[in-house]
Every structure is written in C-alpha cells, then in structure tokens.
Amino acid sequence: MDKIKVTGGTPLFGTVPIGGSKNASLPIIMASLLTDGVLEVLNIPVLADIKTLYEILKVLGVRITHIDDHTTSFNAAHISELTAPYELVKTMRASVLVLGPLLSRFGECQVALPGGCAIGPRPVNFHLAALEQMGADITIEEGYIKASVKGRLKGANITFPKISVGATENTLMAATLADGQTVINNAAMEPEITDLALCLKAMGADITGIGTSCLTVNGKDKLGGAKYSVLPDRIETATYMIAAAITGGKLTLTDTRPGDVTAVSEALRKMGVEITETDDTITVDGRDRNLVGIDIVTEPYPGFPTDVQAQIMALMLTAKGGSTITETIFENRFMHVPEMQRMNADIRFINDTSVAIAGESKLKGAPVMASDLRASAGLVLAALAAEGDTLIERVYHLDRGYEALEAKLSACGANIVRLHEDKEETKTQDTAQNGTTAL
Ligand code: EPZ
C-alpha cells in the first residue's frame, strides 16, 4: 500500500487551483439515472470515489463517455440491471444515492446496505423512511435494501428528524419523477445540495426553495439531458487555506467560491490568519505566526463543517493558547487524535464529543496511520508543520477526496513524496509540472 512521506518546516507559497467538488459530483452523476437523455458533467475531480461510482453505473448499464480529464457524459437510456452490488457499495457509502433515482424511474431496485465506517455507524434510516412515505415498499434481505413501488412514487410531506445531506439528496432526486408535490422539511442546505438541485432543474425538474431548509418539488413525468458544471470543492479549498496558515506561507486558491467557506474563513480570521477574497479566489497569508486558539463546534451548513475538523485541529496545535473542538455530526470522528498525539500533539478528551487542544505543541514527525479521508488531510497538514519526517500510511483514503494532493503541495514548495508499494520514492514535482494527477 502506498505511503506518503512529508518533511515538515517549509512555508508554502504559490497558487493552488481548486477542483470540482467530490460531494457534489457524486449525486449529480447519479442524477443521470433519472433520464434517458445525456447528462454531460463538467469539472468532475479525478478521484477514487468517482471511479467507484463509474464502476457502479457501468454495472447498471450506463454508457459513460470521457470527453476530457474533468468532463464526462452519462447515458442511462439502456439500464440493464437494477442492483448496486456489495463489492462496490462497501467501498463508498454514497453509493446508496442510486436508490432514489432508480426507484423513482424504474419502480424497483436493490442496493447493498452500506456497513459502518471509520467515522461512525452512519445509518440510512432517514433515506428509507422518506422513500416509504412516498409509497415505496422497502425490505432488508441478505444485506440488500430491496425497494419497489406499485406505479409511481407519490409526492409527500417529509420532515427529517435530523439534518442529513445524503437523505436530502436521495429524496430530492426521487421526488423529481414522483406523482405530485413533495415538500422536504429540515432539508440540508449544503452548497452540494444546491448544486444538485440546480443540475436537476437544468434537466427539467421543478424545484423551489433551493438553498433553504424547505425544498418543494413538483414531480414530472420525465426529465431530459443537460450540461452542468460542478461547483468548486469547498473542503479542498479549506484544506489548502489551512496549509498556508499552518506552514506560515501564503497561498492563493483559484477557481473557488469564497462564499461557500465562510465559517472556515471566520474561524481562521479569529485565529489571526489574514484572508483576502475576490469572486473566485482566496488568498491566505499565514506569515504572521501569532495565531491564537479558538473554540469551534461542527454543525450542518452554514456552520463549521465536520469535514474540516481534523484539518483545523492541526492548525490549533500550532496556535498560542488553548482551543476546543466539539464534534456534533459524527460519533467517531476523532480517530486522528491518537495519531496526532504520536506527533507530540497535546490533545485531551473532555468527553466523547469534545477535545481540548493545548496549542504550541512542538510537532515532531512520526509514522502515523490515516483512518478516513479528512483525518488523513489533518495528518498531512500536521506533518507539514512538524519537525522531521512523517510517514503516513493508508493514503488510499486521501486518494478518495484530494486530486493530485502531492503535486499541488509540492508545486508550492512542500517536501512531500509518495512511496509506492515497492518503496520507490516518486518525485511529484514532475507530475505538478505536466499537470497529470498523482492518483
Ligand atoms: C455527507 O455524508 C458527506 N458525504 C460527508 O463527507 C460529510 O461529512 C457529511 O455529509 C456531513 O456534512 C457526501 O456528501 C458523499 P449525513 P452523509 O447524512 O450524507 C446521521 C467526506 O469526508 N444519519 O448528513 O452520509 C448520520 O449518522 C464525507 O467527504 C442518520 O442517523 O452525512 C450523521 O450523524 C465523509 N440516518 C448525521 O445524520 C440517516 O439515514 C449527518 O449525516 C442519515 C444520516
């Protein structure tokens, strides 16, 4: 398995182009299942999770045509299979998002039940309850969700007991082809939901309330094809913002949307980081190293994102004074804490959901293990600020969500190399120059 070696202590300077959002691309690509028209999607990042989704779509019979590195078209006119198999679903939980589109267009489907994962049990009960309210008959048999409906799904008034990104997306897609009106209350408001809704509208869906916590969908008999460009990745953006701050460098992030990372910018500014913005760039100047500790609580959008919790924890370790983090979204999202402690980080559990970060930790390189995608990003950031070498294992987690991470970082001066299974070091500088991905 590949490892990443980071030698810390170098301030990063330069420009980082931000790619399309992983978490918007996944549901948008799945929306292609709602139509027999062609959906052309632009600005798709090159990532392991996207490749997994292509495998699932191919099993179903979707015709996939790659137009360029980041543009692909999907034609689901000839669906031949209505089962998403466990072998693929188990590697990516978001696969459960095929459920809403397949059920609503074909009246039946089977999707392997995603198991637990490193950040918590992650049930899909809200997805299933919403589809049942729309008339679906759902059973769990032999590890599969088996869903069917007589005729069409029916519009319903759905109120989620808790905000869920995935359940909102699944229900929204299902509702576009349902008979009548669906109202989704307590809907997630993440920019990725808005992006999905705008793509569905481009395909002919009738959706109002986009960007709010109440979405109203008037079902249509049919949706058509469309051409849609995915929004920039706000979590990748936030990760590189913190990379500038933690190394005491200055980075300009391009092709991004400052308005989608407001909670992160506010937190960083409170810590003392200088941030300037244009419509589509963010410049983070971390050269003044007088950062102070802050307290954050992760929340659904527009609150501070759980997907940036591990990364800001790394930055807090380098601030003066203590910080606290309270994680309210996932039960088990502190797996990076013991790994950071191996790097000399002074972090203490207050209780199961909160940690105290002492600050001014003299981070030292160490062998560490990545447990999930964002935990891995937090470890890379800590490693960039640490003295000496950090060897990060299980970097396949990073490949799920960061396109060309080593290439982008090394182009700004980071000392980072990927060690392949055969232990041979790959200089990522070359990849950065010729623009291909390091995945
Ligand atoms: C999405 O996951 C993202 N994934 C996650 O990003 C992100 O961390 C999360 O939203 C929160 O922002 C994708 O978009 C592909 P949820 P999702 O349903 O949809 C509970 C990353 O690193 N819940 O909003 O699975 C759940 O357990 C990933 O890119 C139920 O109880 O998250 C959690 O506590 C990781 N029952 C909370 O709701 C359900 O049926 C929010 O989860 C569904 C969710």
pLDDT in tens, 186-199: 999 999 999 999 99
b/e per residue 369-381 (b: at least 16 CB within 10 A): bbbbbbbbbbbbb
Atom 17 of ligand 1: nearest residue by CA position: 166
Supply the pLDDT for residue 119: 66
Ligand 1 atom closest to 49 (CA) = 15
Distance 430 CA to ligand 1 centre (A): 36
Distance 121 CA to ligand 1 centre (A): 10
Atom 35 of ligand 1: nearest residue by CA position: 307
Report the residue among 93, 140, 165 best suited for mutation to probe ligand 1: largest number of ligand atoms under 8 A from its CB: 165
Q: Check if the beta carbon of residue 354 is closer than 8 Å to that of residue 360.
A: no
Q: Are strands 425-426 and 13-17 parallel, antiparallel or unpaired?
A: unpaired
C-beta 167 within 6 A of ligand 1: yes
Report the residue among 122, 171, 373, 376 best suited for mutation to probe ligand 1: largest number of ligand atoms under 8 A from its CB: 122
C-beta 303 within 6 A of ligand 1: no
What pTM value is reported for the model? 0.95
b/e per residue 83-120 (b: at least 16 CB within 10 A): bbbbebbbbbbbbbbbbbbbbbbebebbbbbbeeeebe
Atom 8 of ligand 1: nearest residue by CA position: 307
C-beta 28 within 6 A of ligand 1: no
Mean pLDDT of 140-145: 92
**Partners of residue 214 on adjacent β-strands:** 185
Ligand 1 atom closest to 166 (CA) = 19
Measured CA to CA, the distance from residue 381 to residue 376 in angstroms comes to 9
Supply the pLDDT for residue 2: 87
Supply the pLDDT for residue 332: 84
The span from the first CA to the last CA of the chain, in angstroms, equals 13
Atom 41 of ligand 1: nearest residue by CA position: 164
Torsion angle of C-alpha atoms 92, 94, 97, 98, degrees rounded to 10: -20
Measured CA to CA, the distance from residue 215 to residue 285 in angstroms comes to 39
Supply the pLDDT for residue 115: 65
Q: Checking phi first, is residue 421 left (phi over 0); if not, alpha (psi -120 to 50) or beta?
A: alpha
- CATH class label, 3-19+232-434: alpha beta
- For residue 437, pLDDT over 60 is answered with no
Q: Check if the beta carbon of residue 94 is closer than 8 Å to that of residue 26.
A: yes
C-beta 160 within 6 A of ligand 1: no
pLDDT > 90: percent of the chain: 88
C-beta 330 within 6 A of ligand 1: yes
Which tokens belong to 187?
């809907």
Ligand 1 atom closest to 127 (CA) = 40
C-beta 401 within 6 A of ligand 1: yes
Supply the pLDDT for residue 366: 97
- What crossing angle do the helices spanning 373-385 and 309-316 adopt, rounded to 10°? 20
Mean pLDDT of 65-85: 97
Supply the pLDDT for residue 396: 87
Domain ranges of the chain: 3-19+232-434, 22-229
C-beta 165 within 6 A of ligand 1: yes
Distance 122 CA to ligand 1 centre (A): 7
Report the residue among 26, 91, 95, 164 best suited for mutation to probe ligand 1: largest number of ligand atoms under 8 A from its CB: 164
C-beta 120 within 6 A of ligand 1: yes
Q: What is the pLDDT of residues 90-117, one digit of tens each?
A: 889 899 999 999 999 999 999 998 866 6
Read off the pLDDT band of 420 (50, 70, 90). confident
Higher pLDDT, 420 or 7: 7
Distance 254 CA to ligand 1 centre (A): 27
Mean pLDDT of 401-423: 91
- Identical topology for domains 3-19+232-434 and 22-229: yes
C-beta 124 within 6 A of ligand 1: yes
- For residue 433, pLDDT over 70 is answered with no
- Mean pLDDT is lowest, of 117-121, 154-158, 352-356, for 117-121
Q: Check if the beta carbon of residue 7 is closer than 8 Å to that of residue 415.
A: yes
Mean pLDDT of 241-248: 98
Give me the CATH code for the 22-229 domain, please: 3.65.10.10
- For residue 434, pLDDT over 50 is answered with no
- For residue 14, pLDDT over 80 is answered with yes
b/e per residue 332-352 (b: at least 16 CB within 10 A): bbbbbbebbebbbbbbeeeee
Measured CA to CA, the distance from residue 102 to residue 105 in angstroms comes to 5
Torsion angle of C-alpha atoms 374, 375, 376, 378, degrees rounded to 10: 90
Measured CA to CA, the distance from residue 165 to residue 328 in angstroms comes to 14
Measured CA to CA, the distance from residue 17 to residue 255 in angstroms comes to 6
Measured CA to CA, the distance from residue 347 to residue 293 in angstroms comes to 13
Mean pLDDT of 75-83: 97
Measured CA to CA, the distance from residue 219 to residue 222 in angstroms comes to 9
Mean pLDDT (the chain) is 93
Q: What is the pLDDT of residues 259-278, one digit of tens each?
A: 999 999 999 999 999 999 99
Ligand 1 atom closest to 129 (CA) = 40
Let me know if 412 is a catalytic residue. Answer: no
Distance 285 CA to ligand 1 centre (A): 32
Distance 114 CA to ligand 1 centre (A): 12
Q: Check if the beta carbon of residue 246 is closer than 8 Å to that of residue 384.
A: yes
The residue from 117, 199, 214, 412 that is catalytic is: 117
Q: Check if the beta carbon of residue 65 is closer than 8 Å to that of residue 73.
A: yes
Peptide bond into 300 cis (omega under 30): no
